[in-house]
Amino acid sequence: MSYCKQEGKDRIIFVTKEDHEAPSNAELIADDPNDPYEDQGLILPSGEINWNCPCLGGMASGPCGTQFKEAFSCFHHSSEEVKGSECVDNFRAMQECMQKYPELYPQEDENQGAASGGSDAPTEDSAPTPTSDLTPTPESAPSSDNTPPTDIQAHS
């Protein structure tokens, strides 16, 4: 069983695993997906791409940002059977640009970047270019870069 003690203004509670087994009855306010203040994921409610998503790292803001945006937009709006098949030129332009900056766009990750960048769901994958993360990832993994809010069940 848990016990607690008080040290002045500080209260300390010790709980066992069993104590915490029952679901929490703490009430949380339901999140509004259209809250204009909230940080959005990769895809905005309007369907547009959020170029400022931390998940993109520096891809949309670097020297090849314009080419990246064109290629990715084309891919995103593509309704072909093979998604993005009409965007080959854009991707080629992007690739050419990236080859000029090998430091920024390591060549072996590039293909992954082009492919994985095409997901429509907000993703927690870090950007293709690890060098562009703004925050180092210690064990504690600070999350400004990567995390749209986790789903939390609101108990009524």
Partner 1 sequence: MWTCKTTWKKLAPLARTCSTLCRQNARRTVLNSDRRLPMVTQAHMSSGTPGSGGDNNLYYLLVGATCIAGGFYAYRTIKGDQERYNERMNEIASRANKVAEQAETYLPEEPRGDEAVETPEETSPEVTAEEPEGPPVELEAEIEPSPVAESPPAETAEPQTTTVTESAADPATDEPTNVPPPAPVEFPSHAPYLLIGGGTASFAAARSIRARDPGARVLIITDEPDLPYMRPPLSKELWFSDDPGVVDTLRFKQWNGKERSIYFQPPSFYVSPQDLEKVENGGVAVLTGKKVVHMDVRGNKVTLSDNTEISYDKCLIATGGVPRNLQVIERAGEEVTKRTTLFRKVEDFKALNKVSRDTKSITIIGGGFLGSELACALGRRSADSDLEVIQMFPEKGNMGKVLPEYLSNWTTAKVRSEGVRVITEALVKGVSFKDGKVEIKLKDGRVVKTDHIVAAVGLEPSVELAKSAGLEVDSDFGGYRVNAELQARSNIWVAGDAACFYDIRLGRRRVEHHDHAVVSGRLAGENMTGANKPYWHQSMFWSDLGPDVGYEAIGIVDSSLPTVGVFAKATAKDTPKAATEKSGTGIRSESETEGTASSTATSSTPAPPPEPQQKDDYGKGVIFYLRDKVVVGIVLWNVFNRMPIARKIIKDGEEHADLNEVAKLFNIHED
Q: Which of 151, 118, 116, 148 is nearest to 52 (CA)?
A: 148
In the complex, least distance from residue 81 CB atom to partner 1, rounded to whole angstroms: 30
Q: Which of 131, 127, 132, 105 is nearest to 116 (CA)?
A: 127
Q: What is the CA radius of gyration of the chain?
A: 22
Of 6 and 156, the one with the shorter C-beta distance to partner 1 is 6
* Element at 65 (helix H, strand E): helix 65-77
Of 14 and 34, the one with the shorter C-beta distance to partner 1 is 14
In the complex, least distance from residue 82 CB atom to partner 1, rounded to whole angstroms: 28
Binding site for partner 1 (CB under 8 A): 2-3, 5-17, 19-20, 22-29, 31, 36-39, 51-52, 56, 58, 60-63, 65-66, 69, 101, 103-104, 130-145, 147, 149-150, 152
Of 85 and 131, the one with the shorter C-beta distance to partner 1 is 131
Q: Within its chain, how far is the Cα of 93 from the centroid?
A: 25
In the complex, least distance from residue 91 CB atom to partner 1, rounded to whole angstroms: 17
